[in-house]
Structure 1
Amino acid sequence: MKGSRFKLNQNHAPIHEALETFRRMRVVPFDVPGHKRGRGNPELTEFLGQKCVGVDVNSMKPLDNLCHPVSVIREAEELAADAFGAAHAFLMVGGTTSSVQTMVLTACKRGDEIILPRNVHRSVLNALVLCGAIPVYVNPEVDQRLGISLGMQREQVAKAIKEHPKAVAVLVNNPTYYGICSDLRAIVKMAHEAGMMCLVDEAHGTHFYFGGGLPVSAMEAGADMASVSMHKSGGSLTQSSLLLTGPDVHAGYVRQIINLTQTTSGSYLLMSSLDISRRNLAQRGRQIFHQVADMAEYAREEINAIGGYYAFGKELVNGNSVFDFDITKLSVHTLDIGLAGIEVYDILRDEYDIQIEFGDIGNILAYLSIGDRAQEVERLVSALAEIRRRFQTDGTGLLSQEYIDPQVVTSPQDAFYADKCSLPLRETEGMVCSEFVMCYPPGIPILAPGERITAEILDYIEYAKAKGCNMTGPEDPDILKLNVLTGR
């Protein structure tokens, strides 16, 4: 790729090529998986196709081993690192959840403090449950009109670092689900000057590495580690992800951390999809994401012209809590037509056969990426116009808040494993929660283990349930009860 920024031959896809060679060899399988290239499960083969099940294979010498790669997987990881500008890249088959947890477990041990915004994905807090680290929250500013949490303000991060000089890391969302970006370069600089690592949850920022005019990527900003959801905007299969590390991170130790929790039977379907998708982005990513950004900007203009909706964009940028905005994110505020975002989400699916990424209390997100076409964007815009005409109502009584400041009483690990009891929802006010409660997506906890349950939080949970949000987390699937700490 003459004249490109890449040092390696990005036209190469070593895992994919090794699987194609293996397919042609017609090896007799006396190993797992037990379906034996699909012969033992004809219904599965018919559903997925022979080409797919034929390469659903186990680790073997010609195909390398994800736990300790020395050949084709190692080469695929080197190509990924080169494509993303990282010192090292790890292929992850447990989703970006496993990437995020690896970052936290690499940086933190029991009792260590980690500075982070509270509007993190549950995978971050799950990692704190596992390792026993203590969260130091930089509570984000909230956009009062949109009801969404914004980025980390520089002065708030600096204050947290000053007040917690023994913290081991700062974790940043880049971007948030809604496309909001913090001043990542400044935060990295502050963390490093304080001797702390900077970890970046970049689940929704794969395209930052391949698009012109988009916010800075974690590796470009000098972050130590970044979790990248290739299956979101990068085009790989669901559950496949990358973990990127900078030059000052010990790759061997990171591999040990990964192997604590990641499967020893890595899916070659997932790994080959990462390999092929990385090649696709290296070859065509800049052109593709330019087109995606253009589609999103067009959709924003058209939706705002309908009236009643607010498809927000770079006008939110204020140089601090909204340092930058990901223009590929098509986030739309719906409350001004009298409908919660989740209600618009349901109408789009049930009435118009349009599945968007999520709806929350006040907003919807239509996820645009490499597979979208202009005609589908037009269909979405037309449907939103019809929804306003058919379903607009008085919005009196609608809630808008997406983020409620937590009252942290104890660490997530201590709360999760403490003695607990189950009480009816309204009887838990004032008590300390020992489990998660969240709307999924986006998977940002309303309550996390160790946090005080307030009347405001209970109102929010009941409202979200009534509006049809997909509520997850508690042991009680109906969320009529919550587990709380006894004696607190």
Structure 2
Amino acid sequence: MFIERQRKAPIYEALKRFKSERVVPFDVPGHKQGRGNPELTNFLGKQCMELDVNSMKPLDNLCHPISVIKEAEELAAEAFGAAHAFFMVNGTTSAVQSMILSVCKRGEKIILPRNVHRSVINALIICGAIPVYVNPQTDERLGISLGMRLEDVKKAILENPDAKAVFVNNPTYYGICSNIKEISKLAHQYNMYVLADEAHGTHFYFGKNMPTNAMAAGADMASISMHKSGGSLTQSSFLVIGPNMSEGYIRQIINLTQTTSGSYLLMSSLDLSRKNLYLNGEDIFQKVCSLTDYARKEINEIGDYYAYSKEIVNGDSVFDFDHTKLSINTFDTGLAGLEVYDILRDEYGIQIEFGDLGNILAYISVGDRQRDIERLISALAEIRRLYKRDKSGMLKMEYISPQVATTPNEAFYADTKSLPIGETAGYICAECVMCYPPGIPILAPGERITREILDYIKYIKEKGGSLTGPEDLELEYLNVLS
């Protein structure tokens, strides 16, 4: 029965009906099915522009769905094993923020790893919740943050029994998974909600032999970037919830910040991608795993690179590993991941997901081809041959434990002054500083600036990293508490 239901795509089908009816538009958008902007129509295509429409009775309304969007949400919930699913068109950022705003109010605590996406910190700025950080373990060889140890989560819960929720990355950008099932059990014993950032875990719901997904683990809410590994359009995501959450209240929270003009291009892409993954996901992600495993093997034979996988699993801080992630350590080539990232793009026409101090991530998903994998492998081999150098003097660690002085909300809205960044050591930061991607803050509002952090920022700038977040786009100045 589920298979037959999942063959439906209600939003897509409603758009097809709408197009066939040749309705005359006296509503927004003003381009009127593309006629008012011919250059854009020629660029994007007539069909795309004709389907860029506004909410109306036959197409339902994202803020208050009662027909085709409601049915599409029900199908998505069924596909993800959730009690309910919400279509998110403001990106997974809005899904993450809706999760936090749904369970935390000003002055309430949330337990979370510090290596979270900037959207989490921004949610804390908005709602005034107090972060209780569980510093992740780190892998000294790879220079990356790992997951949260169960023991560390338990310690944080026992020391903060009044916390409202525990937040889990499932997985991290690098593919590292914490023991989300046991974390969920533990949190629920203390009446805390479990929120999962599954921006990089869409395939956990549809592939075989994947790490445990949040809904199967018993988490209460999960934000899922369907556009990353699921094939939908950029900015389209799902927020899914378990049976103990109020659908109506969470929709109210979502509607605080999400647009009232939901894009039907984004929503139809979610609808069709859900259908595709439910019907074909096992085959799709088996192919993805085969491509990634092949790439790992070939890259590791080049020498000096290390494309890591499940061999780093230790059952605790690396409880599991997402082997669709082609994470590659570059340290032994003498090149920072940031440098390899730039060389691949500038010299070889290859755009990978990100580079940090010692790693790169090549994102392999539903649309990749064998010939593209071969091109990446060949480019990495040539980069090693042409650019390899002595690795002495390289910085390695991606994570620096923060010194939290006040909450993100209090720091962001406090009286501040702007200082040359080199003079800010010892001050409390009033804004975010991060390398994007991956968008994990190096500094968050409320954290004390140390000389180690300033040296780290300087090194990233020297290596060509893209630092974002502060008011001064050049990051010559930083806002600190007065």
1:426 deviates by 1.0
Partners in 1 of 2:246 and 2:343 — Cα distance? 49
Partner of 1:263: 259
Q: 1:28 aligns with which of 24, 27, 30?
A: 24
2:133 counterpart of 1:137: yes
Q: 1:411 aligns with which of 358, 383, 407?
A: 407
Q: 1:207 aligns with which of 192, 203, 209?
A: 203
Write out aligned runs for 1:138-157 (5 A): 138-157=134-153
2:226 counterpart of 1:230: yes
* Amino acid of the structure 2 residue aligned with 1:191: A
TM-score, normalised via structure 2 length = 0.99
1:225 deviates by 0.1
Partner of 1:485: 481
1:375 deviates by 1.1
Q: 1:420 aligns with which of 388, 391, 416?
A: 416
1:434–1:449 contact (8 Å) kept in structure 2: yes
Q: 2:91 aligns with which of 82, 91, 95?
A: 95
Partner of 2:173: 177
Cα offsets for 1:155-200 (capped at 9, x unmatched): 0000000000000000000000000000010000001000000000
Partner of 1:70: 66
2:302 counterpart of 1:306: yes
Partner of 1:347: 343
2:460 counterpart of 1:464: yes
Partners in 2 of 1:294 and 1:185 — Cα distance? 27
Partners in 2 of 1:112 and 1:80 — Cα distance? 31
1:412–1:448 contact (8 Å) kept in structure 2: yes
Q: 1:438 aligns with which of 416, 426, 434?
A: 434
1:8–1:82 contact (8 Å) kept in structure 2: no
* Amino acid of the structure 1 residue aligned with 2:326: L
2:107 counterpart of 1:116: no
1:8 deviates by 6.3
Partner of 2:374: 378
1:7–1:82 contact (8 Å) kept in structure 2: no
Matched position secondary structure for 2:5: coil
1:415–1:433 contact (8 Å) kept in structure 2: yes
Cα offsets for 1:253-308 (capped at 9, x unmatched): 00000000000000000000000100110110111001101111111111001100
Write out aligned runs for 1:351-366 (5 A): 351-366=347-362
Partners in 1 of 2:287 and 2:19 — Cα distance? 36
Partners in 1 of 2:417 and 2:316 — Cα distance? 42
Partner of 1:186: 182
* Amino acid of the structure 1 residue aligned with 2:170: N
1:435 deviates by 0.1
Partners in 1 of 2:130 and 2:107 — Cα distance? 6
2:77 counterpart of 1:81: yes
* Amino acid of the structure 2 residue aligned with 1:349: R
Cα offsets for 1:47-105 (capped at 9, x unmatched): 11110000100000000000000000000000000001000000000000000000000
Partners in 1 of 2:378 and 2:423 — Cα distance? 45
**How many residues align structurally?**
482
Partners in 1 of 2:294 and 2:25 — Cα distance? 52
Partner of 1:254: 250
1:440 deviates by 0.2
Partner of 1:281: 277
Partners in 1 of 2:369 and 2:41 — Cα distance? 30
1:395 deviates by 1.2
Partners in 1 of 2:75 and 2:266 — Cα distance? 16
Partners in 2 of 1:215 and 1:242 — Cα distance? 19
Cα offsets for 1:306-362 (capped at 9, x unmatched): 100000100100000000000000000001011000100111111111110001111
Partners in 1 of 2:396 and 2:292 — Cα distance? 24
Partners in 2 of 1:249 and 1:287 — Cα distance? 33
Cα offsets for 1:224-266 (capped at 9, x unmatched): 0000000000000000000000000000000000000000000
Partner of 2:387: 391
Partners in 1 of 2:112 and 2:267 — Cα distance? 30
Partners in 2 of 1:107 and 1:402 — Cα distance? 30
2:29 counterpart of 1:46: no
2:112 counterpart of 1:127: no
Matched position secondary structure for 2:419: strand
* Amino acid of the structure 2 residue aligned with 1:81: A
Partner of 1:221: 217
TM-score, normalised via structure 1 length = 0.98
2:164 counterpart of 1:163: no
Q: 1:13 aligns with which of 9, 15, 27?
A: 9
* Amino acid of the structure 1 residue aligned with 2:22: R
2:33–2:50 contact (8 Å) kept in structure 1: yes
2:296 counterpart of 1:294: no
1:8–1:79 contact (8 Å) kept in structure 2: no
2:335–2:388 contact (8 Å) kept in structure 1: yes
* Amino acid of the structure 1 residue aligned with 2:182: A
Matched position secondary structure for 1:86: coil
* Amino acid of the structure 2 residue aligned with 1:479: L
Matched position secondary structure for 1:9: helix
2:314 counterpart of 1:322: no
Matched position secondary structure for 2:223: strand
- Structure 2 gap ranges (5+): none
Partners in 2 of 1:211 and 1:184 — Cα distance? 18
Partner of 1:198: 194
